[in-house]
Amino acid sequence: MPSDRKYPAVGGGLSSFGGVDLASIASECGTPAYVYDLDGMTRTARELRAAFDGVPHVIAYAVKANAAGGVVRALAKEGCGADVVSEAELLVATGCGIEPASIVFSGVAKQDGEIDRAIALGIRAIQMESVEEITRVEARARAAGRKARVSFRVNPSVDLAGVTHANIATGHDAAKFGIRREDLPQAVRLAEASRHLELVGMATHVGSQFTSVDPYLDGAMVLCDAVRGLRDEGGLASLAFLDTGGGFGVDYTRAARSPAASEPPPSPADFVRAVRAEMRARRLDDLVHVIEPGRSLVAPHGALLARVVQPKVTAAARWLMIDAGMNDLMRPALYQAHHAIVPVGGHASRESWVPWRVVGPVCESSDDFGEHLLPSEPAAIVAILDAGAYGYTMANRYNGRQLPPEVFLSGGRVVARTARTAMDRWVEERVAAG
């Protein structure tokens, strides 16, 4: 069940997003529809870059958060590189103008074809997630007569119980990700003995949606200590970068926060500054600093517009049925995430609003966006906020539903939009299957 976190404090509703009238987007593009404020994403990337204060770095945007061309191109224009986890994401990144030299490729089960493509393109590094993978990549590089640049993703063994949702914690002992610290010396020996591998990076990624710097810093310190130790023993001669991963959290409770409420969570720049201090303390600042943020660059700058289909008021609950479902935005069903939902357009102040249980049309009880304070006379359109990350990329066609269009905003206008997938095509495909 979604969490019972309290109501958004957006008094009077939300009329515009990225300077564009939301009701007119809904009537032109239909609902559900994703809207993205590209200028907001650009601003956030710029702020993050400023935190490096001139230090050589790569902001390797985690394409899995939002792979739409408009988004990736906007971030590429800001100088971002990419963190990809499939050949398809790799091709989106290069297709949107990101230089291979700024791309890292993570993932625990890369296929041979994916490795071959990464080697052929000459990306910054293929991230090794196991000792076994080193042998596989070396064989592919030898077969291609090339030298593959690799980095090691170190599992920092950080206990994340209670820190973030178990499904998005990756840097703990029981996770499938990364090379264990005790296996590092063997892994380094293996890579450094090969004529076909060049060990250029050391990386970690602790998990996602951290709202405090501490767990991120814990992972970064394990990485820094490991690198310092290996260097002190004379290893890692070709090391060029340190990659401290993504995971900077966004404030999904932002809309529920009263102005007088406690401190907002740390900004992406705060995470970077904290890690830079640790790198300096261990004399590792000759290395390029790579980070892999996804969510923090795009989530707050996206919303999912939905139409209210009908209310259903019973003695048990006040349901508000909307036309967006868990197939469009999986986060509430998958992680019990609570995204603020606000009425679109002008409405009476929230003092007169009442709690509604907002649910979608999918035939699953988990198709539930949680309880939200909304006008007692329901608005025609609502906006589900902070949906710019892990929204469309995780959307699916369960129940024969169509994938929503994506609408791209910049300079106060719609600059591009995609089409909703066609229902007829799905019907044809399914009827023809088998």
Q: Which stretch binds ligand LLP (CB under 6 A): 41-49, 286-294, 365-373, 407-415?
A: 286-294
Figure out which of the listed residues 295, 339, 401, 417 binds ligand LLP, where binding follows CB under 6 A. Answer: 295
Residue among 106 and 151 whose Cβ is closer to ligand LLP: 106
Residue among 26 and 217 whose Cβ is closer to ligand LLP: 217
- Count of residues in the chain: 434
Q: Which stretch binds ligand LLP (CB under 6 A): 38-46, 112-120, 254-262, 293-301?
A: 293-301
Residue among 332 and 375 whose Cβ is closer to ligand LLP: 332
Check if 363 is active-site: yes
- For residue 173, the minimal CB distance to ligand LLP (Å) is 17
Figure out which of the listed residues 31, 94, 209, 402 binds ligand LLP, where binding follows CB under 6 A. Answer: 209
Residue among 245 and 345 whose Cβ is closer to ligand LLP: 245
Figure out which of the listed residues 198, 292, 323, 367 binds ligand LLP, where binding follows CB under 6 A. Answer: 292
- Does 9 contact ligand LLP by CB under 6 A? no
Of 103, 158, 109, 159, nearest in space to 129 by CA:
109
Residue 397 is given by DSSP the state -
Tokens 């790569």, residue? 58
- Does 62 contact ligand LLP by CB under 6 A? yes
- Does 241 contact ligand LLP by CB under 6 A? no
Residue 287 is given by DSSP the state S
Q: Which stretch binds ligand LLP (CB under 6 A): 51-59, 216-224, 289-297, 423-431?
A: 289-297
Angle at the Cα of 151 from the Cα atoms of 88 and 48, rounded to 5 degrees: 75
Figure out which of the listed residues 216, 248, 392, 408 binds ligand LLP, where binding follows CB under 6 A. Answer: 248
Residue 394 is given by DSSP the state G
Q: How far lies 180's CA from each of 165, 185, 233, 275, in Å?
A: 22, 10, 19, 21
- Does 243 contact ligand LLP by CB under 6 A? no
Peptide bond into 32 cis (omega under 30): yes
Q: Could you give the CA distance from residue 327 to residue 397 in angstroms, rounded to a whole number?
A: 6
Residue among 23 and 168 whose Cβ is closer to ligand LLP: 168
Q: Are strands 20-21 and 368-374 parallel, antiparallel or unpaired?
A: unpaired
- For residue 421, the minimal CB distance to ligand LLP (Å) is 21
- For residue 249, the minimal CB distance to ligand LLP (Å) is 7
Figure out which of the listed residues 140, 205, 276, 339 binds ligand LLP, where binding follows CB under 6 A. Answer: 205
Binding mask 301-340 for ligand LLP (x = CB under 6 A): ------------------------------x---x-----
Handedness of CA 94, 388, 206, 129 (dihedral sign): negative
- Does 356 contact ligand LLP by CB under 6 A? no
Supply the DSSP string of 41-53, one letter for each residue. HHHHHHHHHHTTT
- For residue 181, the minimal CB distance to ligand LLP (Å) is 17
Figure out which of the listed residues 102, 106, 253, 418 binds ligand LLP, where binding follows CB under 6 A. Answer: 106
Count of beta carbons in the 10 Å neighbourhood of residue 432: 7
Binding mask 377-396 for ligand LLP (x = CB under 6 A): -------------x------
Tokens 């590209």, residue? 38
Task: Say what angle helices 131-144 and 112-121 make with each other, to 10 degrees.
Answer: 60
| Dihedrals phi, psi of 184, to nearest 5 degrees | -60, -45
Tokens 């559900």, residue? 32
Number of chain positions touching ligand LLP (CB under 6 A): 21
- For residue 205, the minimal CB distance to ligand LLP (Å) is 4
- Does 140 contact ligand LLP by CB under 6 A? no
Q: Using CA atoms in the order 223, 225, 231, 235, what is the torsion angle rounded to 10 degrees?
A: -50
Each as own residue / partner, the long-range contacts of residues 164-167 (CB below 8 Å, 24 or more positions apart, any chain) are 164/207, 164/208, 164/209, 164/210, 164/215, 164/249, 165/209, 165/335, 165/336, 165/337, 167/334, 167/335
User: Which two three-digit tokens encode residue 247?
Assistant: 């995971």
- Does 108 contact ligand LLP by CB under 6 A? no
Figure out which of the listed residues 13, 235, 247, 370 binds ligand LLP, where binding follows CB under 6 A. Answer: 247
List of residues contacting ligand LLP (CB under 6 A) = 62, 65, 83, 106, 168, 170, 205, 208-209, 245-248, 292-296, 331, 335, 390
Tell me the catalytic residues: 363
